[in-house]
Amino acid sequence: MSEGSRGGSLAFGQVVIGPPGSGKTTYCHAMREFLGRLGRSVAVVNLDPANEALPWPCALDIAELVTLPDVMDSLGLGPNGGLIYCMEYLEANADWLRDKLRGLAGHYVLFDCPGQVELYTHHESLKNVFGQLAKWNFRLAAVHLVDSHYCTDPGKFISVLCTSLSTMLHVELPHVNVLSKMDLIEQYGKLAFNLDYYTEVLDLSYLVDHLASDPFFRNFRRLNEKLVEVIEDYSLVSFVPLNVQDKQSMRQVMQAVDKANGYSFGDQEHRSLEALMSAAVGADFHFSSTLAVQEKYVQSQDKAVEEEVMDL
């Protein structure tokens, strides 16, 4: 994986990004286990210097190079400034990362990244690190995790859409946006619309109208309309629902990512025509996966109502 050597063997992987608490480390562990059962050699690389006590083992840890507590103590920086410094330090020491990754040749790599949103929307260092990985013949897709509970709050969901769009434009990688923790979504309240409205990001004017029913947001209707116009003009953001405890849900996310980074069309595994076609499906695939999750969600809601009636 020498720099600029395009003739070498390709390496595939995912950079797992998203805000704190969205489930990035849990996703990496679950995806490693899932892909491992399919026969892939998978390695997890921790690029989060704030991840002091990793719950699961990883093949490579940025703590060998720099840690957030050390930076904060030695330079007197806060958590946000410390994370930015750590990413700048990683970028400046890209040779260290390249040398370490050579030991993972032949592996499908999951990069567990920090949770500071600014690193993916404004700052350049992590973006440049991803660019270096591309020069080392890594074919990556960005998996952007967003907690599904934001769907229950229209104002927060618009914010999530803006953040996701900004991240897609800044990171400049094939992108798969994922609504994580779908198994917990019913705990946060009833959705104003069907789940496919949120995953496919359908006509957002309905969301603005729903916000206008709130006296607080009514004063910001014009602002919300303009934000929605920007999101719809780009027409880039959509989501894949995920429950890491559901094998079918994990498979659907895997197929979306394999299509994004090109793994589906490589020669690392035997590919049947059926497997290639399932990875190449676009909107129909996402709709079917969302429909299955919606059915589970509705069944959960109906069951809760039935239990309440029985208690009465």
pLDDT tens by residue, 226-255: 999 999 999 899 999 999 999 999 999 999
Structural domain includes residue 123: yes
Find where tokens 């499908």 sit: 108
Structural domain includes residue 231: no
- Phi and psi angles of residue 141, each rounded to the nearest 5 degrees, phi first: -125, 140
Cα distances (angstroms) measured from residue 187 to each of 242, 245, 300: 16, 17, 10
Counting the structural domains of the chain, the total is 1
Structural domain includes residue 229: no
- CATH (domain of 261): 3.40.50.300
The secondary element (H helix, E strand) that includes residue 290 is helix 283-311
| 300/305 Cα distance (integer angstroms) | 9
pLDDT tens by residue, 13-58: 999 999 988 999 999 999 999 999 999 999 999 999 998 778 888 9
Which 3 state secondary structure label does DSSP give 296? helix
pLDDT tens by residue, 94-138: 999 999 999 999 999 999 999 999 999 999 999 999 999 999 999
Q: What is the domain range of residue 190? A: 11-201+237-310
Identify the CA nearest to 183 among candidates 244, 264, 255.
244
Evaluate if residue 1 carries a pLDDT over 80. no
Residue 139 tokens read as 């074919």
Average pLDDT over residues 163-182: 94
Q: In this structure, is the dihedral angle defined by the CA atoms of residues 63, 69, 73 and 78, taken in order, positive or negative?
A: positive
Structural domain includes residue 5: no
Structural domain includes residue 92: yes
Structural domain includes residue 65: yes
DSSP secondary structure code for residue 55 in this structure: S
Structural domain includes residue 73: yes
Question: For the chain, how big is the Rg over CA atoms in Å?
Answer: 21
Structural domain includes residue 232: no
